[in-house]
Chains A and B, each alone.
Chain A
Amino acid sequence: MTRPPLPRALFPPVFAALVAAAGPAAAQTTADLAGAPELGIDARVNAAIGPVADVFAGIIFYSVPVMGADLPLIVVWLITAALFFTVYFGFINFRGFGHALRLVRGDYEDPNDRGEVSHFQALTAALSGTVGLGNIAGVAIAVSLGGPGATFWMILAGLLGMTSKFTECTLGVKYRRVNADGTVSGGPMYYLSQGLAERGMGGLGRFLAVFFAIMCVGGSLGGGNMFQINQAFQQFVNVTGGDASPLAGRGWIFGLIAAVLVGIVIIGGIRSIVRVTEKVVPFMCGLYVLAGLIIILVHWAEIPAAFGAIITGAFSPEGVAGGFVGVLIQGFRRAAFSNEAGIGSAAIAHSAVRTKEPVTEGYVALLEPFVDTVIVCTVTALVIVITGTYGTPDADGVSLTSQAFGSTIGWFPYVLAVAVILFAFSTMISWSYYGLKSWTYLFGETRAADVSFKLLFCVFVVIGSSLQLGAVVDFSDAMIFAMSLPNLVGLYLLAPVVRRELANYRAKLRSGEIRAHGHAPPAGAAVRR
């Protein structure tokens, strides 16, 4: 792994305190000292889970050779669904875009519902779970393996994925359960069990719901937790001196601090930390996109060439394993991993919005893959392509993105490290909630079930940060994708319900029964004029 050299003087004071706490071990021996005993645990856990993980990941990522490339069937499964829903709902991802923006702006908000969860809040809460390492690390992997052309297919997958989100989030609101205490539970567990029961397939619905919940618990502990903390720790070590970093090989310290912070938020219910994160994350996201755009503008002369490389690379790539199909797979796969369209996770977050029309939340959810993939992922890809960093040997994932940004804005890797840690934290908070809802769906909404899952989640933060568990991460990746199996079966079966909802809603819009309340200026403004 290559990394920019870092002057010692830049170490923040907090960091110095950490070093002191960690003991006076010389930096170069740190890795050896800490690495040796952990290796045994790594190996044992890997050996125990490895065979099961291999079989499971082998099934989920089962690939068929197509024109020299391995095409994972799960990617076909996700893209086919996205394409089907896009056609079935008459290209609502494009035609509904303007209406979605007006809904987010609050134009159709019922004044009596003020103070409730707004469309904007449901959208941003869901986005906090998806905008994360997939946008930074995943895209770099796609471009380094698939060349610039992967960007094209990634954008296309993002555009199609908008309709999968539309479908699942409409159902999430329609079949949510409002508990006696006023809280809301929703998501695939509920629409699979209740929605299919309505259609006379109660047994299948229950099975799919339980299947989904189990996969979601696994996915939340893995991809939504261990993967996140692991990558955040890697980037942290990278910018603080790599192997010479005082925390190198001491992931458990990093993990312990993160686990305490996560625990304070999810168990202690201390909102102030999450308040800070939820405010800083959108800012970071904006800063990231802005920095990307600046870099693109600085290299303005290369913009036409970059777009040329993306278009030609998409259809006739050179030197990419599997050629055209190979590029397509890279783009599609990373888009799916980043925006989670069809996975079902977002439907949990979107279900609590205050609306009488479930379809409105579907419209709003359209914007999620757009922001995540079509904007944020594309910026990452363009920066990597335009700066020509994608050919760099020995760099992939976060470090490739870090290099690409660092080549034009020297200090950006440090900002990126902060962004990655914050993105990871907010993704973990979101996924802890998805996992919890699935856990309590399986074991009942009791206090014991609630606390036991949250404790388990915190333990996994430490594990994910301190161990190099390749097999476990593969396993959890597979579980996130496996969520799409029961979810999409349900979406296909319930698509007519969504179509009916959509038709009713459009009729009400046409008849004027639903009108834009708009941002009528306060009465005073009118009088004053």
Chain B
Amino acid sequence: MGQLFMVGVDGSDGCRRAVDFAADQAARAGADLLLVHVIEWSRYEFLSPSEVAERHRQRERELEDAQTRLLDPLRDRLKAAGAEPRTVIRFGHGAEELCSAAAENKACQVFIGRRGRSRVTTLLFGGVAGALVQMAPVPVTVVP
């Protein structure tokens, strides 16, 4: 098995640029592509009893939505360009999950798009890209 390049994807423009850039790099290096989408989730979030009862169904819907609306179109686009990307969906904290996914799949590089939010927003909420750069086990390429 050859090298694996991993791309963290959400629905943003930055993510599409990152996917295109990573696909280009992967084609040059002869590496495989893995698209990882993280659905923000915390075990400490508060739910009402009726939400608790419906959570399993809700989760199935979130998974299906992410697959059909985000990952499938991206994969189709890459397939048209000749690549054969795998896709993974995970629940949890964005940067943490991307790191675990990179380690579990033995990716040798991670690509991520920059959302391009204002300095204040980033200061308050942090950015996935920034956090990933801080904690990733492998080199990270942030695509502007």
Which residues of A are in contact with B by a Cβ distance under 8 Å?
106, 109, 114-122, 124-126, 128-129, 178, 181-185, 266, 271, 274, 278-279, 281-282, 348-349, 352-354, 426, 429-430, 433-434, 436, 522-528
The yes or no answer to B69 lying at the interface (CB within 8 A) is no
| CB-nearest residue of chain A to B59 | A115
Give chain A residues whose Cβ lies under 8 Å from the Cβ of B45: 121
Q: Which residues of B contact A116 (CB under 8 A)?
A: 55-56, 59
A-B contact pairs, 6 of them (CB 8 A): A125-B46, A125-B48, A182-B56, A184-B56, A349-B52, A524-B103
Tell whether A124 pairs with B46 under 8 Å between CB atoms, given A114-B92, A116-B59, A522-B100.
yes
A134 → chain B, closest Cβ, in Å?
17
B49 touches A430 (CB 8 A): yes
Decide yes or no whether B119 CB sits under 8 A from chain A.
Answer: no
Instruction: Select the residue from A182, A279, A349, A525 with max chain B CB neighbours within 10 A.
Output: A182
> With an 8 A cutoff between CB atoms, is B143 at the interface?
no
C-alpha gap A390/B13 in the complex (Å): 63
Residues of A within 8 A of B18 (CB): none
Q: From residue 51 to 73 of chain B, which have CB atoms closer than 8 A to chain A?
A: 51-57, 59-60, 62-63
- Check B99 for interface membership: any CB of A closer than 8 A: yes
Q: Assess whether B44 is interfacial by the CB under 8 Å rule.
A: yes
How many Å from the CB of A114 to the closest CB on chain B? 4
How distant is the Cα of A114 from the Cα of B56 in the complex, in angstroms?
A: 11
Bound together, the chains give a CA A271 to CA B58 distance in angstroms of: 13
A281, closest chain B residue (CB): B46
What's the minimum C-beta distance from B38 to chain A, rounded to whole angstroms? 10
- Candidates B51, B52, B55, B136; contact of A524 at CB < 8 Å: B136
- What distance in Å separates the Cβ of B10 from its nearest Cβ neighbour in chain A? 16
A434 and B90 form a contact (CB under 8 A)? no
Beta-carbon contact of B53 and A184 below 8 Å: yes
B47 within 8 A of A: yes
**If A125-B47, A274-B48, A524-B135 touch, does A115 touch B100 (CB 8 Å cutoff)?**
no
Bound complex: CA A230 to CA B47 (Å): 25
Q: Is the CB of B47 within 8 A of A121?
A: yes
Interface string of B25-49 (1 = CB under 8 A from A): 0000000000000010101111111
B47 contacts across to A, CB distance below 8 A: 117, 121, 124-125, 278
**Chain B residues positioned under 8 Å from A106 (CB to CB):** 43
> Is A430 a contact partner of B48 (Cβ separation < 8 A)?
yes
Q: Which residues does chain B contribute within 8 Å of A118, judged by CB atoms?
A: 43-44
Q: A125 contacts B56, CB within 8 Å? A: no
* Neighbour of B46 across the interface among A119, A183, A279, A525, CB < 8 A: A279
B96 within 8 A of A: yes
- Known A-B contacts A522-B103, A523-B100; A120 and B49 likewise in contact (beta carbons under 8 Å): no
**Bound-complex Cα distance A526 to B90 (A):** 21
Task: Give the distance to chain A from B57, nearest Cβ to Cβ, in Å.
Answer: 4
Please name all residues of chain A whose beta carbon is closer than 8 Å to the beta carbon of B91 when the two chains form the complex: 114-115
Q: Would A527 and B137 count as touching, CB distance under 8 A?
A: yes
Q: How far is the CB of B60 from chain A (nearest CB, A)?
A: 6
B50-A181 in contact (CB<8A): no
Q: Which of A124, A126, A185, A281 contacts B53 (CB 8 A)?
A: A185
- Take A352-B52, A354-B56 as given contacts and tell me if A523 and B102 are in contact as well, using a CB distance cutoff of 8 Å: yes
B135 touches which one: A274, A354, A522 (CB < 8 A)? A522
Which residue on B lies nearest to A106, using beta carbons? B43
Whether A117 contacts B52 in the complex (CB less than 8 A), given A125-B47, A522-B96, A523-B137, comes out as: yes
Q: A525: which B residues are within 8 A, CB to CB?
A: 99, 135
Cβ contacts under 8 Å, B137 to chain A = 522-524, 526-528
Question: Which residues of A sit under 8 angstroms from B56, Cβ to Cβ?
Answer: 116-117, 178, 182-184, 352, 354
Residue picked from B51, B103, B104, most chain A C-beta under 10 Å: B51
Do B99 and A348 have beta carbons less than 8 Å apart?
no
Q: Contact between B62 and A522 (Cβ–Cβ < 8 Å)?
A: no
Chain A residues with CB under 8 Å of B90's CB are 114
User: Are B48 and A433 closer than 8 Å at their CB atoms?
Assistant: yes
* Residue from the list B41, B49, B60 in contact with A125, Cβ < 8 A: B49
